[in-house]
Structure 1
Amino acid sequence: MILGFNRNTPGHYLKFRLKLVLVLGLFFSGRAVYAQDSLFKVIPEPVYAKSTGQKMEIQPKTVIYYSESLAANAALINEAIRSYTGYLLPLSLQPEKSLAAVKVPGKEQHDPQQLVLSIDSLNVKMPSGYQLLIEKDKISIIGHDPSGVFYGIQSLIQLFHLSKKNILAIPQGEIKDYPRFNYRGMHLDVGRHLYTVDFLKKFIDLLSLYKFNVFHWHLTEDQGWRMEIKKYPKLQSVAAWRSGTIIGHKKETPHTFDGKKYGGYYTQDQIKEVVAYARSKYVNVLPEIEMPGHALAALTAYPELGCTGGPYQTAQFWGVFDDVFCAGNEQVYQFMEDVLDEVISLFPYAYIHIGGDECPKLKWKHCPKCQERIKTEGLKDEHELQGYFMNRIERYLAGKNKKAIGWDEVLEGGISKNTTIMNWRGEQSGITAAKAGYDVIMTPENLLYLDYYQSLNKDEPVAAGNYTPLSKVYAYEPVPDALSAKEAGFIKGIQAGVWTEYMSDEKHLEYMVFPRALAVSEIGWSQSGRKNYPWFLQKLRDQEALLRRRNVNYYPYFEELTADWKNENESTITVILKTTLPNALIRYTTDSSIPIVKSKVYQQPIPLDRSMELNAQLFVGNRATGRVFNQHFQHHLGLQKKITLANPGNGKYNFPAKLLLNGLEGHHRFNDSQWLGFSGKDLDAVVDLGKATPVSAIGVNLLNYHWQRMWAPKRLRFMGSLDGKNFKEIYTQENFDINGINKVNAQFPTQQLRYVRVVGENIGIIPKGAYGEGEKAWLMADEIIIN
């Protein structure tokens, strides 16, 4: 099985893969090489799949032939068959060499059907590759290695269809397959919320079904330390527990808490159990011990490891905290080495994740020990101090024959090239790392974090923030065009992130992860030319039955109604409604009523030529399905007029200025691409109405979420002008008391105006004592409304 990366020949390996794809294309030359086969609805999509149109049926007397090295795989497929049929098949242990000689049963001999598991690394050349051949009376799964046989079994299981006779029917044909990337990971944070060992096994089962091979187990956090460390018992008795948990979203203030003690940890015996179980499913377990940040729980147990000596308290809410491990304290390094010794003894995987993300330097700036360390080691600043910390840990792991993985912040202070980078903060940091010669696992937050909303529907449960629907996940390509072929060889795989602040139970976690995890599996396993979203959805509709059979509480609305907005002319916007659900009609209303079977059928874009509340509903036949789509539209004088910004938006909130005049008011979750954000800069917008126009009201929406570093302006001013040069102040506001959306609406005696100027003065730097102190404040604005 594939346990790690091959750094030595990334370029040769990439060229070999490309050549193999070309050879396969020339060899098979049929449509199935480049087009999907409708009977083989396997996720992730195989390299080659071609069915005959016929079916074979597994009978109770079908014999499973296997060699000793594949005994576990034989037991696995037998148990899978029993789960469908209620019976186990007879097993026949054979020498490996004799398996190739097992013949298809002859009709005249009435021999029993055969399911043959074997290894042939000469004919199945790619590691973890397999060939699945389904004939009338024989199924052959041939792997390059045992993991290849295992993955062939997972594909076979996805083809199972139970007939009325309690017999498994399977389409005949052939699949040839191997993974695109050696690293195909799924992360799970258990620091914020804890999950049972039984659930972790179920989770690992689902990962292996869809050919993931790494379970990244995030074991320590500010809100709880989840791993037993025998040398430090207070990590169990103190750090594993918090006194309560925040209620609702952290952006909502004042914060309220449930007051209930929460926590727990995994014993070393439980960890061994999970690791062994994962190993049996060809899943490697990557442990993560966070450092030097996200350490508040550990500091609560051992306050002498912090810069101030405490007292500390395990965090009850979510965020980034200033109290971190003291980088100038020698005791900290001894603590980390002791912890890592016990981690290493429990996790056989070649890699240990050492965190390195979101480590504020505020306490280090004022800590005599940290400043002395900077001086004695000849470091420039606190960023290089973190580099010293991480490099020291990396060297310790190397001395134990382990390699380090870190979040992309470890690049900032300098880190050894032996460290693999996870680029959570975006694609660019992965590009930078690959160009610098680091191994990279692509994990961009905005594309592969599954704690983000998967729908903009108002009924979605609370989630972390941004909007990442299934289609957006599936569209991700992990090898950027900006990389040369040599640099692309440093992209070792991908990983999705599951951060559990808002996933308090296992059903909610499943709802957030599936089916988006299936899209991630196809990104990591399937060749990029084999990806096809409509075909993926067709397969996913079949996979729903399998997910229900596995009792997975998956998100069922992945084909719900969505909308695009199009500017038809200066004053008219139309809405385009769409869905991928086959045979569905869209019915809609514009009077705020809920659509019924007699409501108008959507046939063309709807003009938003007045203020309205649009509701739309999918119907299959006469039956409404899914949830109601709802959108308010505000028609006003400024709609689609010319607008000029003195400062553009920043980061992920940098949208075209016309977004402020499109009639759509942004959601309080600020994940609908309707909010412009200005980091440390003012909102300064001038709207040109085209001609002198009577105006009696000006409004704008502003966000005030201090726990998101979003601050209302210290002063908001509305001004008007006829010539665009001489502006007269119309309205000023300096107090914004609402936590959330502040809808400012200034009414005044009618004035003739051509130009309207809106200025929101950013507070600049977040004040001391507030969340994110010392950083630039965000000023968030949406929809300038002129009437």
Structure 2
Amino acid sequence: MKKMFFKYRFFAFLNLTLQFVCFFSFGQQINIIPKPVAVEQRVGAFKINSKTQILSGTKSALASAGFLKTYVKSLTGLNLKATQTAAVAKNGIQLLIDPVKVKHAEGYELEVSAAAVKITAADGSGLFYGLQSLIQIIKQSKTGQFSVPACKIIDYPAFSYRGMHLDVSRNLFSTATIKKWLDMLAFYKINTFHWHLTDDQGWRIEIKKYPELQRTAAWRNETLIGHKRTEPHLFDGQRYGGYYSQEDVKDIVAYAMARKITVIPEIEMPGHALAALTAYPGLGCTGGPYQVATYWGVFDDVFCAGNDKTFAFISDVLDEVITLFPAKYIHIGGDECPKTRWKVCPKCQKRIKDENLKDEHELQSYFISRVEKYVESKGKKIIGWDEILEGGISPGATVMSWRGEEGGIAAAKLKHQVIMTPEKYVYLDYYQSHDRSEQIAAGGFTPLSKIYQYNPLPAGLKADEQQYILGVQANVWSEYLPDAEKAEYMIFPRIIALAEVAWSKNETKNYPDFLNRLNHHKRFLQQFNYAESNKDITGSIDIQHLQYELKTDLPGATIRYTLDGTYPGLKSAVYTKPLAIMGLLNLKALSFINGAPNGRVFEQHFSKSLATGKTVSIKNLPAGNFAANKQVLVNGIAGTYLYNTGEWLGFSGNDLEAVIDLGITQQVAEIGIGLLNYHWQKMWAPDRLTFEVSEDGENYQQVYKQTEFKVEGINRIKQKINPVNARYVKIIAINKGIIPKGEYGAGGNAWLMADEIIVN
């Protein structure tokens, strides 16, 4: 089918200057994102011509009429007449607000016939969103005629809160860039922009009463090069910083508001305050001196909770912030606040005593509650990360559940409003592909499919408790996003998947259907450096049957593969069913569509041994994001240095004691295991590693012991031993336990990370 190509200014009403090429195909398919509640496709199409009129039924609809008029002119060159009238005219696009007919907030009905287009909405937001859907389905014929396929669409959001968070403390983005992103958020019906403005690495908002925040807190001496996990740390030696003036903030807020987006500011407290303390050291427990952080992490120096000057400073800051942001919410952080300084600070200890608090956790609750009361006195409400649950939650606080779903579930059961933003599912600074060419990321693995399949309503909540889930948000932390291009690669198209999660009913979601619609939306993504990692082949292992499965999301694709490490071609084997692991060595695979390669080459190396596929028993359970099936220790696949493939078992503060049953007694001459040692990720090699063997599973003899390991990275232990008969192999790795003083995360549990066990 032939496609027409043409250039137009994307969302001219948004004052974008970038032009790019896009296309519309001739078909009548309704490819709207997010997926509407109901779509009825009809026969025919409405043609847009010079006599088409835009009719706004009410004065409140005039702004939307102006928006549509400007857009159509940019797209077609036609200068349509816009009139305020309740009359229905042929060849007209009618815009109505009727909350009686459309009862759901932000909802709309879009009806298209050959004679007219009619959008009826519950409110101004609904009308705006109806127009976004209309814009998405405008098409161009071979002769240059613009039209809209006949249809009826009924639509309204599943959740009232649909958000994206952006961290500008670690790395700044220009106001022009933020506006560009806001345009796309609005296009996909995301209605909240959570602006993370302060942190340890920089204070990014002008506060006129405290000029040192601009002169000192907004600047750091240099910035970490590469990933935090790598030692030794390297720095660029370049002073970095800046901030948004109050005029910048007003501009962004107004720009967002015109696009039905609420901007919620975040001013971090009581932790992540190092930048502010550098400017005003008297607000810390030690009095300083402090330095704006030059690398990423959690730092012991936080706001002093026993100092009344701290609360005076926060109140003054919030006074100026509140005047800039009309949103009803102020985000006050509350996450990752170490209690190290509070435990030895005389002022904090006095506060605990004076307020009859049990401990430092209740001191944090006191801190949050005190700030909340001040915010509420200004007619606002607070949002905090789920740590604000610790020590008792403030009465009117809304919780952002980021460490998992548990915090959100607990808050909802306490009848607090909740926004779900679990890092495992919706953090956009996580890797979206396991391909080696992926740009550096924080960690984790969140492909497009994982975000799309997320359900913000946790299974652990009863029906009457689900009402407290306001919605869902994707978070963009910028530690490894030094420029807009790298940020866009991480944001798009994953934020579009999040938009459908937030707007569309969970039971109507369909990932292949979404990918099909997303393919039609690439014309809207041309102005971004967007990722296409959904083209990647993915691999998964069936541990029970020792089979390896390949999968591609590309419709109509054929996977071809090789087992000898050579590049797959058209003569390579076609993948039709899972492959037996015992027959694999160096697997490479590539997708082909119509005989042409598509996407990147998938690679997986397998290491087989006497232990592969054998039964493993472990004494302590793995924890957190590293609580994988214990059989991954003998599945033939080694974990990578990114530790995000599900191949590493992680033990928080606990030892590893694993026993492999080889099935029969046989000669053993070599034993090995992989261990991960990244102190800056709180991952430590064991204090002691021992290998033991046994014929009966009761009486073991030690055959190897090691107490020293590489400073950083993966330690592949593969030790030759004097040949011995054994059926059982026991590996004991003694956890470091508590992270030593002076090290990152001191006082907390060390992670012991283990992967593939080898026995030969």
1-structure distance, mates of 2:548, 2:197? 46
Partner of 2:693: 720
1-structure distance, mates of 2:663, 2:104? 65
CA drift of 1:360 comes to 0.2
Matches within 5 A, 1:385-404: 385-404=363-382
Matches within 5 A, 1:45-56: 45-56=35-46
Q: Deviations over 1:500-532 (max 9, x none)?
A: 111111111111111111111112111222212
8 A contact 1:143–1:149 mirrored in 2: yes
Partner of 1:275: 253
Partner of 2:137: 159
**In the alignment, residue 93 of structure 1 is paired with which amino acid?**
Q
Q: Deviations over 1:702-745 (max 9, x none)?
A: 00000111000011111111121221111111111241111011
8 A contact 1:40–1:50 mirrored in 2: no
1-structure distance, mates of 2:726, 2:392? 56
- The answer as to 2:76 corresponding to 1:85 is yes
8 A contact 1:610–1:635 mirrored in 2: no
SS at match of 1:289: strand
Partner of 2:357: 379
CA drift of 1:166 comes to 3.2
2-structure distance, mates of 1:675, 1:481? 27
2-structure distance, mates of 1:608, 1:83? 57
2-structure distance, mates of 1:736, 1:80? 63
Partner of 1:670: 643
1-structure distance, mates of 2:547, 2:614? 16
Partner of 1:552: 528
Partner of 2:22: none
Normalising to structure 2: TM-score of the pair?
A: 0.95
- Structure 1's unaligned 5+ residue stretches are 1-36, 106-112
CA drift of 1:326 comes to 0.5
CA drift of 1:38 comes to 7.9
Q: Deviations over 1:661-689 (max 9, x none)?
A: 00000111111000001111111111111
Matches within 5 A, 1:600-619: 600-610=573-583, 612-619=585-592
Matches within 5 A, 1:341-420: 341-420=319-398
**In the alignment, residue 67 of structure 2 is paired with which amino acid?**
L
Rate the CA distance shift 1:562–1:318 in 2: closer, same or farther, 3 A. same
**In the alignment, residue 220 of structure 1 is paired with which amino acid?**
T
1-structure distance, mates of 2:74, 2:598? 31
8 A contact 1:419–1:439 mirrored in 2: yes
SS at match of 2:533: coil
Partner of 2:496: 518
Partner of 1:589: 562
- Structure 2's unaligned 5+ residue stretches are 1-26
8 A contact 1:275–1:347 mirrored in 2: yes
Rate the CA distance shift 1:611–1:742 in 2: closer, same or farther, 3 A. farther
**In the alignment, residue 54 of structure 1 is paired with which amino acid?**
G
Partner of 1:42: 32
Partner of 1:706: 679
SS at match of 1:485: coil
SS at match of 1:713: coil
Partner of 2:404: 426
SS at match of 2:625: helix
Partner of 1:540: 518
Provide runs of 4+ in structure 1 moved above 4 Å. none
1-structure distance, mates of 2:520, 2:43? 18
**In the alignment, residue 672 of structure 1 is paired with which amino acid?**
T
CA drift of 1:90 comes to 2.1
8 A contact 1:306–1:323 mirrored in 2: yes
Partner of 1:561: 537
Q: Deviations over 1:43-95 (max 9, x none)?
A: 1111111111422221133111124322221122222223322333222233x
CA drift of 1:782 comes to 0.2
Quick one: which of 613, 617, 622 aligns to 1:649?
622
8 A contact 2:535–2:598 mirrored in 1: no
Q: Deviations over 1:560-603 (max 9, x none)?
A: 2111212465xxx2211111211211111111111122222212
2-structure distance, mates of 1:464, 1:628? 23
CA drift of 1:656 comes to 2.0
Partner of 2:194: 216
8 A contact 1:84–1:162 mirrored in 2: no
CA drift of 1:640 comes to 1.0
Partner of 1:248: 226
Q: Deviations over 1:124-172 (max 9, x none)?
A: 1111111111110311111111111100001111112233333322211
- The answer as to 2:54 corresponding to 1:64 is yes
**In the alignment, residue 197 of structure 2 is paired with which amino acid?**
L
2-structure distance, mates of 1:193, 1:390? 27
Partner of 1:31: none
2-structure distance, mates of 1:738, 1:633? 26
**In the alignment, residue 178 of structure 1 is paired with which amino acid?**
Y
Please give the root-mean-square deviation of Cα atoms over the aligned residues, in Å: 1.4
1-structure distance, mates of 2:220, 2:346? 30
Tell me whether 262-271 or 721-730 shows the greater mean CA deviation: 721-730
Partner of 2:159: 181
Q: Deviations over 1:354-398 (max 9, x none)?
A: 110000000000111111111111111101111111000000011
Q: Deviations over 1:635-657 (max 9, x none)?
A: 11001112111111112212222
8 A contact 1:610–1:634 mirrored in 2: no
Q: Deviations over 1:418-460 (max 9, x none)?
A: 1111111111111110001111111111111111111111111
**In the alignment, residue 166 of structure 1 is paired with which amino acid?**
G
Quick one: which of 738, 753, 757 aligns to 1:780?
753
Quick one: which of 141, 147, 155 aligns to 1:169?
147
Quick one: which of 209, 216, 219 aligns to 1:231?
209
SS at match of 1:541: helix
Quick one: which of 442, 445, 448 aligns to 1:464?
442
1-structure distance, mates of 2:698, 2:692? 11
2-structure distance, mates of 1:762, 1:464? 24
Normalising to structure 1: TM-score of the pair?
A: 0.92
1-structure distance, mates of 2:660, 2:211? 64
SS at match of 1:354: strand
